[in-house]
Structure formats: C-alpha cells, structure tokens
A and B are shown apart, each in its own frame.
Chain A
Amino acid sequence: AQKITQTQPGMFVQEKEAVTLDCTYDTSDQSYGLFWYKQPSSGEMIFLIYQGSYDEQNATEGRYSLNFQKARKSANLVISASQLGDSAMYFCAMREGLVDKIIFGKGTRLHILP
C-alpha cells in the first residue's frame, strides 16, 4: 500500500483563487510528521510547511496552511490567493516515527492561469 497518496496528478486554477491540494497518508505510528514541498521547473525542492502528528493546531506559513485531519489521515495543502509563481509540482511527504527518511507522494502539478 502506498504511504502517501496524492490523487490529483494535475490542477488548473485561476490566479487569485484559493487552491487545495489533496494528500492522504498511511501509517500505524503514533508519532509522525507531514511535509509539503514545492518543486518548480528549475528542479529544486522548496520546503513549504510542516505538521507534527501531535500538533493540535493546523500549521500555517504565510499563504500556505495545512488542513490536518488526523482521523481521516488527511493532510491537504491550502494555498490562499494563488499567484502565477505558484505554478509548480507539489509533493506531500511523511516521516514515520523516529525514522529520519521522508517518504514522498507522486506529486500534483499545479498550473495557475492568468
């Protein structure tokens, strides 16, 4: 079974609209961390936001927020007021327990339309 599932291979969104990128995860660990990374066409992986499994509040970083629904094992990324520069590949990822490696999903390609 996949550990990280991103069901939207691609999305098209009008500039200035909010966008939600879906992510579900699968783990039996009680302690884990969830990440979102952005990968523009230039290729670098840019860290966006982190949510720990014990964090009660949803993480927020500027225009990014993580909608963490623990019971549903869901960690959707919400980008408010999208901009043309948000066009990129977005990866959801998870660190399980005390293991340090990160497991990535297959990604969602986001296109922001002017």
Chain B
Amino acid sequence: GAGVSQTPSNKVTEKGKYVELRCDPISGHTALYWYRQSLGQGPEFLIYFQGTGAADDSGLPNDRFFAVRPEGSVSTLKIQRTERGDSAVYLCASSEQGGETQYFGPGTRLLVL
C-alpha cells in the first residue's frame, strides 16, 4: 500500500516568507506526527495529531509554527516569517490508533535564504 507522502520534496524560500508543507498519511492511520531534522542531528518532535486535534504541540519552537489537520487525514505545517534557522528537513510520520510504530514520509527539505 501507499506510504506517507510529503509535498513538496524541496522548498527554497526567502527570509520572511510564508511556507506550507503538506503531509498525506497512510490511509486509515489516525495518528500523525511532525518532526524536524537539522543537519547531522536526529529528528526532533514538533507536534502530534490524534484525529483532527493536536494532542501535543509542545515541540513547536515558537508561534511562527502552526499545523492543522482539518479532516483527520492530510496535515499542513505552516511557517510564518521564515528565518534562516528554520532550514531543515521536515518529516511527517503516521501510525495506527494504539500502534507502536511510526512510519515516516520522505521529508520536505526546506531552505530559507
């Protein structure tokens, strides 16, 4: 079956611009996660959705970052007033309800110039 998909695969933007990153989870997976991976580091948790609601957004670095999942499937991570420090790979993962394993998408490489 289809895995987690993320679009775009690469995004280049200028400092101060707004960007949206999309995640399409595995069909039927109710849990969705966003992580950020900086160069040479492991992924760091940003936010977790169970269904439509954000169950844990403790990893969002500041109020420039926001994520939605209005219909409990596709999610969009939104970054306002981007900064060079936001440059990273943004990974999305999904899991079954009660499932232990998170399955990751290929990521979106964001570069802020």
B71 within 8 A of A: no
Which A residues are in CB contact (< 8 Å) with B109? 43
Q: Which residues of A contact B55 (CB under 8 A)?
A: 100
Interface presence of A95 (CB below 8 A): yes
B33:A45 contact, CB within 8 angstroms: no
Q: Is the interface of A mostly helix, strand, loop or mixed?
A: strand
User: In the assembled complex, how far is the CB of residue A18 from the closest CB belonging to chain B, in whole angstroms?
Assistant: 24
Most buried by B among A46, A50, A100: A100
- Identify the closest chain B residue to A103 (Cβ): B45
**Size band of the A side of the interface?**
20 to 34
User: Which residues in A have some Cβ–Cβ distance to B below 8 Å?
Assistant: 4, 33, 35, 37, 42-47, 50, 52, 91, 93, 95, 99-107
In the complex, besides A43-B89, A47-B101, 10 extra interface pairs with C-beta distance below 8 angstroms are A43-B106, A43-B109, A45-B107, A91-B42, A99-B56, A100-B31, A102-B35, A102-B45, A102-B102, A103-B45
Residues of chain B within 8 A of A4, CB atoms compared = 42
B residues neighboring A (CB under 8 Å) = 31, 33, 35, 40-45, 48, 50, 55-56, 59, 89, 91, 93, 95, 100-107, 109
Contact of A101 among B42, B56, B89, B103 (CB under 8 A): B56
The 7 closest A-B pairs by CB, nearest first: A104-B42, A45-B104, A101-B45, A44-B106, A91-B42, A104-B43, A43-B107
A103 to chain B, nearest CB (A): 7
Contacts of B31 in A (CB 8 A): 100
17 residue pairs of the A-B complex, CB under 8 angstroms, read A33-B100, A42-B106, A43-B89, A44-B105, A45-B93, A45-B104, A47-B103, A91-B42, A99-B56, A100-B31, A100-B33, A101-B45, A102-B35, A102-B102, A103-B45, A106-B40, A107-B41
B79: shortest Cβ distance to chain A, in Å? 19
Contact A52 B100 (CB under 8 A): yes
